[in-house]
Amino acid sequence: MLEIKNLCANVDGKPILKGLNLSIEKGEIHALMGPNGAGKSTLAKILAGHPAYEVTSGEVWFKGQDLLAMDPEERARTGLFMSFQYPLEIAGVTNRQFLEAAMKAQGKEGKIDEKMEELEIRAEFLDRNINEGFSGGEKKRNEILQMALFDPDLAILDETDSGLDIDAMRIVAKGVNAMRRGDNALLIITHYQRLLDYIRPDFVHVLADGAIVRTGGPELALELEEKGYA
């Protein structure tokens, strides 16, 4: 599904990713962990197509297509979903307008009201501007709602370094676990192992200084929690 080969990237002319390799197959949940500043969010932004991040070498294949050659909209249409660490607030566009337009553009049909109920999101959210004045937990629920409705083949969630509160974590886990199928996959970027008590990964990777330095099973996350990244 996703194949990252020897990816190197610069931010502001400074090398941040230095030969990153990662392969994600259908049906798998991968967790990417690592110390602050390791390049986790940089990887997420590159996969989303953020213009400030310059790929200097390497390849990224998504469903057999050259991801780096696609614009961000094409990536979404091909089945990639990205939830950012700091979701944007968009004035003048309501959640309902955004969700309906985005679903239409992606050819998705889903019951917004049903999903909202499932994710314990109050109906009034639909008519508020996207993320405007939302608390951290509300933004996160909103992102998980988008994910549930777009029903992507690969979802990448970049979690806050300060950690989600228990409620937000439960909602993220509920959304993720409800959309799990044998033919989709998830990459969850998280600084803390706590979230992985709710979403059990098949593989845990450690990103340090721009490359994956260790890979293991769920037990690796527990070990990191106990011993740190050193």
With beta carbons less than 8 A apart as the criterion, state whether 78 and 62 touch: yes
Element of type H or E holding 118 = helix 112-118
Name which of ligand ADP, Mg ion, none residue 39 binds, using a CB cut-off of 5 to 8 Å depending on partner kind. ligand ADP
In the three-class reduction of DSSP (H, G, I as helix; E, B as strand; rest coil), residue 218 is classed as: helix
182 lies in the site for ligand ADP, by CB under 6 A: no
Number of residues that bind Mg ion (CB under 5 A): 2
Element of type H or E holding 4 = strand 2-11
Q: Could you tell me where the beta strands, DSSP code E, fall in 134-210?
A: 154-158, 185-189, 203-208
Query: Of 41, 95, 142, 184, which one interacts with Mg ion (CB under 5 A)?
Result: 41
Stretch that binds ligand ADP, among 18-26, 40-48, 102-110, 135-143 (CB under 6 A): 40-48
What is the rounded CA–CA span in Å between residue 83 and residue 159? 8
* Closer by beta carbon to Mg ion, 41 or else 193: 41
* Strand-strand pairing, 154-158 and 80-83: parallel
52 lies in the site for ligand ADP, by CB under 6 A: yes
Stretch that binds ligand ADP, among 20-28, 29-37, 116-124, 162-170 (CB under 6 A): 29-37
Query: Of 37, 65, 74, 113, which one interacts with ligand ADP (CB under 6 A)?
Result: 37
User: At closest approach, how far in Å is the CB of 7 from ligand ADP?
Assistant: 13
With beta carbons less than 8 A apart as the criterion, state whether 69 and 56 touch: no
Q: Under the rule (CB under 5 A), what is the footprint of Mg ion?
A: 40-41
